[in-house]
A and B are shown apart, each in its own frame.
Chain A
Amino acid sequence: MIDPPLDGVQTPEPEPAHSADPDAVPPQAGPPEPKRTERPHPLTPLIRGWVVSLALIIGLGREILGWFTESRPLPPLQLLLGGIGGIAVIAVLIGLASWLATRFVIDADELRIESGILLRKSQRIAFDKVTSIDVLQPLAARIFALAELEIDIGSSERVKLRYLTRARSYSLRDYLLSRAHSHQAELVHTEDPGLQLGDLSAEDEVLVQVPPQRLLLGAVTSNEFIGLLITIIITVTAAAIAAPYFGGPVLVLALGVSAISGIGGFVVRRLTGQFNFTLSSRPAGLRISRGLTSLTSQSVPPRRIQLVRLSQSLWWRRFGWYRAEIDVLGMGMRNEEDTHASVSSVLLPVADHAQVRLVLARIWPEADWESIQLHPAPFRARWLHPVAGPFLGLGHDDLLVVSRHGWLERRWDLVPHARVQSIRIDQGPVSRKLGLADLAFHTAGSRLHPHAYGLDANHVLERQDELIMLAQAHRSDITLAPAARPAAPADQPGPEALRADQAEATISDTE
């Protein structure tokens, strides 16, 4: 192996770059100079120690509050402080050891991370396996202008690099994203963008920015909020009726207080999690940045998007607002809590029709979901789907399948044929009597399950061959506009390349 030039690599860290293995004897053939490896920022162990002791203080504080109310004797203060201090020191020491053990290489020909104190682990990741990269900035790291790089490679475990300087995180993120698209990219040093709420660079083009007012209004009119409200009203009314027999007004008061804090918590979580939600476009893909207390920025390569689900809460119909969710290959079982610094599947929290159009045109330039003629479910489907019946429908053109369903929340599932892995037709005993059938489209995502319900069985019978044919048709990349598409299908890998593509994403070994 001949080492490619490393001029693209820069090490903005204050400490000198470490050689991977200074004692290694270079092999005879093509003696490469030792690879330049990096370590995370030296403040890392301190921050991790701080996080541990903070968790400890909060945990202990709760215990002690409990002791107060039970009027138990407190242990001496010295013991407490000593205990916390001791554990914090141990945490810092462990952090230090793991920092010493962690090294990474990101250069023109590999992305490799070595970590582990006792169990040494060397993880090498193929560039094209990187599905998304997130730069997370928890509070403690933010203070020191550090950030955490989270690399999603499609397996359940996400590769974490923490903590790096913010500038380094962003430049690595940009580099890896370009490489994920098989662009030849140069690793360039970006300036530290500084502490800011947004996260945009010069080449970013802002597509959608959700103002806080709309976020607030959207949260308050969402089905979740209304459901919460109804539950609370029922509980408080029931408590008010039962109050004379049980705890009296105190009961109602206590319930009311917890209800208000519940509502407040919901709105605040929505607001802080999605604050300043910005969807921007850059050559390498889409990027989402959001969050008030901790800024999350998340990259979404359009090629990995398996489907888009538009949904509309009951009241949003009036405003013409939509929420867009995506299922991305390798997003794994990401939680639905779109609030904290974790990565979520929300593409647009609240958006109007024009914005949805704009964003979808970026993802799938040629697909036009609105021009697809939907075939409604027959009237008899209302026996099985009394409320949703009139809304159910399925349609497709040669790029997309669109399924419309849902009643309290209306949903449109948009699935490109190119992402359909298999199709299933289902029919239960009642459906058979009614001459109905359901369709399920299996995609590589794991969160959203696109379905079409209550279809006319004869209609399905006529379409099934066509749908199956479309699912397996060879076609050029749906994420590219016709102009941007290469004349020769260079992007279309042959069977061999595909096998390689489907091979294990990471080569990791433990010693």
Chain B
Amino acid sequence: MDALFQPDGDWQRLGDVAVVSHRVNSLALNLLASIGLLVGVWILTNGDLLWVGAAAVAAASWTTWRVIRIGRWIRSFGFREGERDLLITHGLWYKSLTAIPYGRMLSVEVTTGPVSRLWGLADVQLITASHRSNAQIPALRATDAARLRDHLIALGEKQALPL
């Protein structure tokens, strides 16, 4: 990755658990969608095997692509706890780098859903006064997420900036 989206520093990546969990999620969702698609095609074409076969190939290749892709996307994710700001980078084709000064944080949220709880994962979201900041770090280990939250809150309180 180039210097634009990854300035020097101690970058933290998401762990293998995050990659595996996202791959499994993606696989499950895409398989469900594929089955739906195949049933739809079956009904629409009155069971024409040629069409159903073509749809199956398309669905299988899409699913494979998505499963590989989501893993790479999660690996592209990184964050850096700087001295005064948090940097978050992600993206494969559309890369982005978000910088949030600690002083601008209003709160930090840790959320976890039923599926990610199975993996012992949680998302950390930084809330600033701007709803467009969208600073989310997905799929951290729950303990890491809690630690990060407390750390960020402590830094934010120390460096608070006026709204």
Bound-complex Cα distance A457 to B160 (A): 31
Return the chain B residue nearest A503 by Cβ: B106
Q: Is the CB of B94 within 8 A of A422?
A: no
Q: Is the CB of B163 within 8 A of A428?
A: no
Return the chain A residue nearest B135 by Cβ: A422
Q: Is A492 an interface residue (CB 8 A)?
A: yes
- Which residues of chain A are near B135, meaning CB under 8 Å? 422
Q: Secondary structure at chain A's binding surface: helix, strand, loop or mixed?
A: mixed
Smallest CB–CB gap between B7 and chain A, Å?
7
Q: Pick the contact of A472: B85, B93, B94, B98 (CB < 8 A).
A: B85
- Which residues of chain A are near B45, meaning CB under 8 Å? none
Q: Is the CB of A442 within 8 A of B99?
A: no
| CB proximity to A under 8 Å, residues B123-157 | 128-133, 135, 157
With A425-B4, A472-B159, A502-B106 in contact, do A446 and B98 touch (Cβ < 8 Å)?
no
A104-140 vs B: 1/0 string, CB under 8 Å?
0000000000000000000000000000000000000
Q: Is the CB of A422 within 8 A of B5?
A: no
With A427-B96, A472-B101, A472-B104 in contact, do A422 and B161 touch (Cβ < 8 Å)?
no
With A427-B4, A468-B101, A493-B162 in contact, do A446 and B133 touch (Cβ < 8 Å)?
no
Q: Is A203 an interface residue (CB 8 A)?
A: no
Among B5, B96, B132, chain A packs the most CB atoms within 10 A around the CB of: B132
Smallest CB–CB gap between A396 and chain B, Å?
15
| CB proximity to B under 8 Å, residues A469-511 | 469, 471-472, 474, 477, 492-493, 495, 498-499, 501-502
Smallest CB–CB gap between B137 and chain A, Å?
14
Q: Pick the contact of A437: B4, B84, B160 (CB < 8 A).
A: B4
Q: Is the CB of A502 within 8 A of B157?
A: no
Q: Is A429 an interface residue (CB 8 A)?
A: yes
Q: Is the CB of A468 within 8 A of B106?
A: no
Q: Is the CB of B128 within 8 A of A425?
A: no
Q: Is the CB of A442 within 8 A of B101?
A: no
Bound-complex Cα distance A423 to B7 (A): 15
Smallest CB–CB gap between A457 and chain B, Å?
6
B82-94 vs A: 1/0 string, CB under 8 Å?
0011000000011
Smallest CB–CB gap between B44 and chain A, Å?
35
Q: Is the CB of A461 within 8 A of B3?
A: yes
- Which residues of chain B are near A471, meaning CB under 8 Å? 99, 101, 104
Q: Is B55 an interface residue (CB 8 A)?
A: no
Smallest CB–CB gap between B158 and chain A, Å?
7
Q: Is A96 an interface residue (CB 8 A)?
A: no
A452-464 vs B: 1/0 string, CB under 8 Å?
0000010011001
- Which residues of chain A are near B159, meaning CB under 8 Å? 472
Q: Is A62 an interface residue (CB 8 A)?
A: no
Q: Is the CB of A460 within 8 A of B4?
A: yes
Return the chain B residue nearest A474 by Cβ: B161
- Which residues of chain B are near A425, meaning CB under 8 Å? 4-5, 96-98
- Which residues of chain B are near A443, meaning CB under 8 Å? 129-130
Q: Is the CB of B163 within 8 A of A501?
A: yes
Among A424, A432, A492, A495, chain B packs the most CB atoms within 10 A around the CB of: A424
With A425-B5, A495-B157 in contact, do A468 and B99 touch (Cβ < 8 Å)?
yes
Bound-complex Cα distance A271 to B2 (A): 53
Q: Is the CB of B160 within 8 A of A421?
A: no
Smallest CB–CB gap between B72 and chain A, Å?
15
| CB proximity to B under 8 Å, residues A297-337 | 329
- Which residues of chain A are near B104, meaning CB under 8 Å? 421-422, 471-472
Q: Pick the contact of B94: A329, A427, A464, A498 (CB < 8 A).
A: A427
Q: Is the CB of A468 within 8 A of B85?
A: yes
Q: Is the CB of A422 within 8 A of B101?
A: yes
- Which residues of chain A are near B100, meaning CB under 8 Å? 421-422
Return the chain B residue nearest A494 by Cβ: B160
Q: Is B95 an interface residue (CB 8 A)?
A: yes
Q: Pick the contact of B163: A437, A444, A460, A461 (CB < 8 A).
A: A444
Q: Is the CB of A498 within 8 A of B131?
A: no
Among A432, A442, A445, chain B packs the most CB atoms within 10 A around the CB of: A442
Smallest CB–CB gap between A417 and chain B, Å?
10
Bound-complex Cα distance A468 to B99 (A): 7
Return the chain A residue nearest B85 by Cβ: A468
- 19 A-B pairs with CB atoms under 8 Å apart are A421-B128, A421-B129, A421-B130, A422-B98, A422-B104, A426-B96, A427-B4, A427-B95, A427-B96, A428-B94, A443-B129, A445-B130, A461-B4, A471-B101, A472-B103, A472-B104, A472-B161, A501-B162, A501-B163
Not counting A425-B5, A471-B99, A495-B157, a sample of 4 additional A-B residue pairs whose C-beta atoms are within 8 angstroms of each other reads A329-B163, A444-B130, A468-B99, A472-B101
In the A-B complex, the 6 residue pairs with the closest CB atoms: A472-B101, A444-B129, A442-B130, A421-B130, A421-B128, A495-B160
